[in-house]
Structure 1
Amino acid sequence: MRTELIDPVATEGRPGAPDHRFARWPVLSITGLVAALHLAFSASGQHWIDEVYMLAAGRFHLDWGFADQPPLVPLLAAAMDLLAPGSLLVLRLPAVLATAAAVVVTALIARELGADRRAQVLASGAAATGLWVSTVGHWLTPYTVEPLLWLLITLVLVRWIRLHRAGRDDDRLLLLLGVVVGITVQAKFQVLLLCAVLLAGVALFGPRALLRRPALWGGAGIALLIALPTLLWQAFHGWPQLAMGAVVAGESSLLSGGRAGTAASQLVYAGLAGLFLLSYGLWRLLRSAELRSYRFFGIAFVFLYVFFVATAGRPYYLIGLYGIAMAAGAVGLQRRREAVRARGRTPRLSWTAWPAYALSIALAGSSIVASGGLTSLFGAMNDQRIIAETISTYRQLPAQQRSDLGLVVENYISAATIEVGARGTEVPPVHSPHRGYGYFGPPAEHVDSVLYVGKDPSRLREHFAEVRLVREATTSYWLCTGREGPWSSIWPELRFL
């Protein structure tokens, strides 16, 4: 890797170098503030619902893949928990670093497009004040790590294209692209769709010279090699990830207000300043002659926006493409400013950016503060009640009955909550037929009775001679005895996504 990939300032004045110096201190100051704020909110509160699932999957069930996601984030969660068991602050460090790094990468993308220091600051400020990233930026989840990886893919592609236009084909960037794509597949599978759309856009709108570079296909081979373990896991388990599309669509009305909510949220999540830069930048990507070589990014943005709305996907799926549009928008404002000054005038409306950014910062700050309330309302460890109730319910059962008793939990969030919270106690291994837990396996064959944690035990009644309620608290607790049939045949019938 050349020095210019590491130190943007060092390339100033070299052939093929960006037009402007990297706005190091302003951008890094914004980045540091973002990191400090998210770090401050990392140490308190409770696990977010997806966060506790990442921790449980990585700490107790680490594998080459999972039914509903790749293994990278569970692996990170397990590593952080090994360093400092039970520490929210340490657990969330990778998320905070990814959120802060996204600010820097957005500024670098803008610089590659020709942004001066002021435009780089505008782009990085917009990236720092997005509403979605402000809310979730300190939770260790796949959708916190994925945007940075999409931004890195964008940066490498934009840089290769700029160098190609300057007569320098640095194909090592395309090999690096393969590494980043492979790692991203290990975080979330949506990147495969992104790559397909980007390739189609390049084939239709250019630069087609990219497709003729052997290094691009060599990079694709590297990406496949890195992603192969989790792809093989999916293949060996019947590709459960493909069934998750219907699950996500079914949850859309509840989580994001259906297709209309997804359509609005994909834009609102950019924040106030971000939405303006994104909209203007998208228009420039599609129309500007200066950005013609990058037009395929605009096409990809529009296609994926429509696709995620049509399929009722999660609104945050598109976050990783915000950066290129914001960067293009910042460069567009710079071009307008330069054109006005070229006519000997002083830009009249440039002062309006700063009040807009001040309001955007206020909204982003409110989102960070609100994230603590979200974990209190929907967090996985609500007052530790479900953990304490499960432990006490188990202890109240006769000792002879506990010797061959299993613990089965209705849904994966409650299962992860109990498994993480009850570790170190005498509670037996936690099982659940739901989502990824269903693929962690059933209880041991010697387990003839189970304590079922959940409201609806109807599916277990078909496989146990007796199912009776033993406690009604935060949730219901049922004792299921007289197992009828082996777990190897029962579990596939119970398992669901």
Structure 2
Amino acid sequence: MTGTAARAAAPAIHPLPQFAAGPVGVVLVVQALVLSLLSGRYGFHRDELYFLAAGKRLDWGYVDQPPVTPLLARAGAAMFGDSPAGVRALATVAALATVLLVALVARELGGGRSAQTLAAGAAALSAFVLVVGHMLGTATFDLLVWVAIGLLALRLLRTGDGRWWLAIGAVAGVGLANKWLVLLLLSALGIAVLITGPRHVFRSAWLPAGILVAAVLAAPVVWWQARHGWPLLTVAGGISEDDGAENRILFVPLQLVYLSPVLVPVWIAGMVRLWRDPRLRWARALVVAYFVVCVELLVLGGKPYYSIPLLVLLMAAGAEPTVRWLARGRRAARRALAGALVVLGAAMSLVVALPVLPPDGLNPVLAMNKEQGEQVGWPEFTATVAAVWRQIPEPRRATAVILTRNYGQAGAIERYGTDLGLPRPYSGHMSYADWGPPPDSHTGPVVLVGATTMAGVADCRVAAEHDNGLGLDNDEQGTVVTVCGVLTRPWSELWPQLRHFY
């Protein structure tokens, strides 16, 4: 299609409202203060401990993730300190960037000053954004990537300017180096545009250039996975097999609560607006893309939160009609109701997502966000293992090994164990399996963390059971620590049997 024909097929381009820099800036300042002030409470999450361990062993990939998040964990620790607050500084930056982009999405869809501010505030106070903004994780940067691609795609669809394919390709390539879920978004947007239009954007010569940019950026990560037998797909298949039925059952209910029940009317209003407003016909693909992703996840058995970034975009679309609703009719009553809902929703999100409660009061929260509990008690857990380690006669410790059941346990011992006299831990879980095995000269004893026996060792006895002292029912509460005698087979022979992904 010629440039003239493409412009003729594109929607009419109207000037965008002025960006609400002042009020959106206030939202960002408050968001930064809240996340920063609370980032040091509790402690590291098990995943953060794993990312720190992976960051010490930088590679183009790991069995369960691409390299960006471990790289950022290492960078955060180096720049801001090897502490929860230091590592999470970059998560805070990513959350701020996400909220800023949400405001820009509202503007892209014609939202004025009030709509942009509402979109930014709703995103900043939503439970999902608070959770991923508080902790450093793959989902933190995946959310930013999805929102960025959503904004760029809207800009492409609104203007018809094919050069935006280059920016989409660049963000997608970086996103693939963090988490492969971005492929769901790209496929869903592609299908949605084919269904709703404007289809002429696919005839742009810039599309293959954007694909090339994404491919070049993602090539080292894909090559690493190919060389290692595509372990990331093995892990994804395991998630579907183990949790697929539960994910499908809970999918719809969790769509209603992950952001906040209070925000459901806002993103529904966004869907209705994009579908009915003839001035936004070009943006209908965003609605269809959400449902396509939902179908993909239901088929694959993926986790329900994978689709939430698209709800964030739809929430931005719903900001303008929400502002109009507040300005109609009985304004005082509507604004009083909205204010009460904002206070209720904010309180719910803060308690569920952030470490505002004392650790011993977290049990009721774990049903809604178990990740809070996974940030408590790791130094004490390591002390439990250290107490068992000291039961081994000192002359025998030179050939002894600590073997953990999961990467969180290994990451905690690696992070806190040195000060307690513990050696490097080993584990067959995820990429820790690639960082082993112990030397064959280490013939025992073996301290098993999270197991009572293991093939290849004899004379096992349970030496301790971990108690976090808070009555907190997190994943490691009640974990057994076992001491076994000498190995009956060398580690090099045992190790392939000890690798596990779940």
1:356 equivalent in structure 2:
341
Q: Give the residue type in structure 2 aligned to 1:88.
A: P
Q: Relative to structure 1, is the Cα distance of residues 380 and 363 closer, same or farther in structure 2, using a 3 angstrom cutoff?
A: closer
Within the candidate set 463, 467, 470, 1:471 is matched to 463
The correspondence for 1:445, drawn from 434, 440, 449, is: 440
Given candidates 244, 247, 269, the residue that maps to 1:280 is: 269
* Partner residue, 2:283: 294
**Inter-CA distance 486–271: structure 2 relative to 1 (3 Å threshold):** closer
Deviations 1:464-497 (A, max 9, x none): 4x2422622312222241342451x421221111
For normalisation by structure 2, the TM-score amounts to 0.85
Give the drift of 1:102.
1.5
Q: Is the 8 A contact 1:20 1:115 kept in 2?
A: yes
Aligned to 2:126: 130
Counterparts of 1:145-164 in structure 2, within 5 Å, are 145-164=141-160
1:213 aligns with 2:204: yes
Change beyond 3 A, Cα 1:378–1:366: closer
Q: Which of residues 371, 375, 384 is equivalent to 2:379? A: 384
Counterpart amino acid of residue 109 in structure 2: L
Match for residue 41 of structure 2? 44
Alignment of 1:204 with 2:172, yes or no, is no
Change (3 A) 1:133 1:450: farther
Structure 2 counterpart of 1:7: none
Structure 1 vs Structure 2 CA RMSD: 2.8
Partner of 1:433 in structure 2?
428
Number of matched residues? Answer: 466
- The answer to whether the 8 A contact 2:254-2:304 is kept is yes
SS of match in other structure, 1:408? strand
Amino acid at match of 1:378: G
Structure 2 unaligned residues grouped into runs of 5+: 1-11, 363-369, 467-479
C-alpha distance after superposition, 1:45-79 (max 9, x if no partner): 111222222222213x3221111111111111111
Structure-1 residue corresponding to 2:54: 57
**Does the Cα contact within 8 Å between 1:115 and 1:334 map onto a contact in 2?**
no
3-state SS in 2 of match to 1:104: helix
Contact kept? 1:449, 1:483, Cα under 8 Å? no
1:478 match: secondary structure? strand
Q: CA deviation at 1:154?
A: 0.8
Following superposition, the deviation at residue 282 of structure 1 comes to 1.9
Deviation of the 1:28 alpha carbon: 1.2
Query: Relative to 1, partners in 2 of residues 1:423 and 1:298: Cα closer, same or farther, differing over 3 Å?
Result: farther
1:38·1:368 contact (CA, 8 Å) conserved in 2? no
CA displacement at 1:163 relative to structure 2: 2.1
In structure 2, which of residues 150, 153, 169 is the aligned counterpart of residue 178 of structure 1?
Answer: 169
Q: Aligned partner of 2:196: which letter?
A: F
CA distance in structure 2 between the aligned counterparts of 1:159 and 1:47, rounded to whole angstroms: 38
Match of 2:320 in 1: 331
Instruction: Tell me, yes or no, if the aligned pair for 1:134 and 1:367 is still in contact at 8 Å.
Output: no
Structure 1 counterpart of 2:202, one-letter code? L
| Contact 2:452 2:482 (C-alpha < 8 Å) held by counterparts | no
Residue aligning to 1:190: 181
Is the aligned partner of 1:319 residue 2:319? Answer: no
Identity within the alignment, % = 30
For 1:106 and 1:226, how far apart are their aligned partners in 2?
25
Q: Which residue among 126, 134, 141 is the counterpart of 2:137?
A: 141
Distance 1:122 1:285 in 2: 18
Partner of 2:9: none
How is 1:235-254 mapped onto 2 (pairs within 5 angstroms)?
A: 235-249=226-240, 252=243
Change (3 A) 1:467 1:185: farther
Distance (Å, rounded) in 2 between the aligned partners of 1:396 and 1:74: 34
CA distance in 2, matches of 1:335, 1:17: 20
Match of 1:366 in 2: 351
Q: Compared with structure 1, are the counterparts of its residues 98 and 66 closer, same or farther at alpha carbon in structure 2 (3 Å cutoff)?
A: same
C-alpha deviations, 1:80-109, integer Å up to 9, x for none? 222344322111111111112221111101
**Other-structure match for 1:11:** none
Aligned to 1:4: none
TM-fit CA distance, 1:336: 6.8
Instruction: Determine if contact 1:116/1:334 at 8 Å carries over to the other structure.
Output: no
- With over 3 angstroms needed to count, the CA separation of the structure-2 counterparts of 1:56 and 1:354, relative to structure 1, is same
Seen in structure 2, the aligned counterparts of structure 1 residues 29 and 17 have a Cα distance that, compared at 3 Å, is farther
Say if 2:87 is the partner of 1:91.
Answer: yes
Q: Tell me whether 240-249 or 70-79 shows the greater mean CA deviation.
A: 240-249
Which of 100, 104, 111 pairs up with 2:96? 100
- CA separation of 1:251/1:96 partners in 2, compared to 1, >3 Å: closer, same or farther? farther
**Partner amino acid, structure 2, of 1:279:** I
Q: Give ranges in structure 1 of 5+ residues lacking alignment.
A: 1-14
Cα deviation digits, residues 205-256 of structure 1 (max 9, x gap):
2221221122222121111211122212211111111122343245548xx9
- The CA distance in 2 between the partners of 1:368 and 1:494, in whole Å, is 35
TM-score relative to the length of structure 1: 0.85
Kept after mapping to 2: 8 A contact 1:408/1:432: yes
1:77 alignment counterpart: 73
Cα distance in 2 for residues equivalent to 1:251 and 1:99: 30
Any conservation in 1 of the 2:440–2:490 contact (CA below 8 Å)?
A: no
- 1:37 Cα deviation after fit: 0.7
Cα distance in 1 between the residues matched to 2:356 and 2:406: 23
The C-alpha deviation readout for 1:327-385, integer Å capped at 9, x for no partner, is 221233467789x7xxxx89787635444333322323333445664589722551622
SS of alignment partner, residue 487 of structure 2? strand
> Per the alignment, in what secondary structure is the counterpart of residue 486 of structure 2?
strand
